[in-house]
Amino acid sequence: MFFSLATSLMPLMRWIDPEQAHRLSIAALASGLLNPTSSPDDQRLETSFLGLRLPNPIGLAAGFDKNAVAIEGLSRLGFGFLETGSVTPRPQDGNPRPRLFRLTADRAVINRMGFNNAGLDAYVQNLAKRRSTAGLVGANVGINKDGADPLRDYPLLVRAVAPHADYVVINVSSPNTPGLRDLQAEDRLRAILSSIAAAVPTRPPLLVKLAPDLAKEAVARIVETCVDEGVDGLIISNTTITRPASLTSAHASETGGLSGAPLFEPSTDLLRQVARLGRGRLALIGVGGIFSGEDILAKLRAGASAVQLYSSFAYGGPALIPRLKAELLQSLDRHGFANVTAAIGADLR
């Protein structure tokens, strides 16, 4: 009923401060004001990853609902699954504002939010409240800017969220927490993963989220480390610190992570590289620059079992999700795939 309200409201939000627009969207979703009930998905869209069944492969990426306050409202928009967080052990304010920038002409976003979130206790309380009707929900965890100890904090985070999440993501790739991406180095990653295995023997599937800016040689080492340490999957990718020469927006030189259309190619290239190296040993979620059904199909063909998006949702609002599903069905037809499952990894064969 409020769907048309939502779709007409969201574009207007483009003209107000982007962080304010985001805050209003979360408040509306949490209040149940944006309340469309999406119709059941076409069976051809069904996929599964790590033994979890998804009605469609389109997930909401981490960072939109950092505190897990809008799970019910978001799930009614028709996402196949949701990822909440990143949550850190203690609450933190994040970086000074402004810290979120629209690059409209580039269909991109730059953010340097810096893990602003209400902390683990509040997050776990919210996650525990979710109803079973909300579908699959992942928990993405990160560490505080100050006083962090990765070998203490990641196990503590995983243990706390594990009973309430369908999967858990170790975020070692956000560019806005100094030193965080260094945790992707083989020895440091191995130490974190084995500390989690020792502290949390029973847990839901564990994934690691990678940066798109890794050197080629580093990627192979990360893949083998993750396989060795019992990681179930990878999310590829987080935002990039690079700035393609094609950017035209005034905010292009702001510090932070770039997401949206300019991230599509580098993140899909990394996804394909990891899929080849992983040889089916790791489940993959493809994220970065998805704006169309063709974009989703490209990620599936490159080896992703499911995808996620953030920037296109920030620009397009709730109407985006039904549009992407319709486009994906058309793209499957056009390229001769019977369904989503048939397309997964097609470019690798």
Ligand X SMILES: Cc1cc2nc3c(=O)[nH]c(=O)nc-3n(C[C@H](O)[C@H](O)[C@H](O)COP(=O)(O)O)c2cc1C
Site of interaction with ligand X (CB under 6 A): 61-63, 66, 86, 100, 109, 111, 113, 115, 140, 171, 174, 209, 238-239, 259-260, 263, 287-290, 309-312
- Minimum Å gap between C-beta 318 and ligand X is 16
Annotated catalytic, 194?
no
- CB nearer to ligand X: pick between 109 and 168: 109
**CB of 75 or CB of 238, closer to ligand X:** 238
CB of 202 to ligand X, least distance (A): 24
Give the alpha-carbon dihedral of 236, 240, 242, 243, to 10 degrees: 110
- Render 116-148 in DSSP notation, one character per residue: -B--HHHHHHHHHH--GGG-EEEEEE---SSS-
Buried b (16+ CB within 10 A) or exposed e, 197-214: beebeebbbbbbbbbbbb
Token pair in block for residue 155 = 């196990």
Which residue's CB is nearer to ligand X, number 62 or number 284? 62
Write out the H or E segment, with its range, that includes residue 208: strand 206-210
Q: Which of 25, 75, 86, 174 is catalytic?
A: 174
How far apart CA 165 and CA 158 sit, in angstroms, is 10
CB of 40 to ligand X, least distance (A): 25
Report d(CA 309, CA 189) in Å as an integer: 25
Q: How far apart are CA 197 and CA 199, in angstroms?
A: 6
CB-closest chain residue to ligand X: 63
Query: Which SS3 state, helix, strand or coil, does residue 199 take?
Result: helix
Looking at beta carbons only, is 95 or 174 nearer to ligand X? 174
Give the residue with the Cβ less far from ligand X, 103 or 223.
103
Work out how close the CB of 338 gets to ligand X at its nearest, in angstroms, rounded to a whole number: 27
- Both tokens of residue 32? 């149940």
Smallest gap from residue 192 Cβ to ligand X (A): 15
In 3-state terms the chain splits into helix, strand, coil percentages (rounded to 5) of 45, 15, 35
Could you give the count of Cα atoms lying within 13 Å of 74 in the half-sphere of its Cβ? Answer: 29
Which residues are known catalytic residues? 174
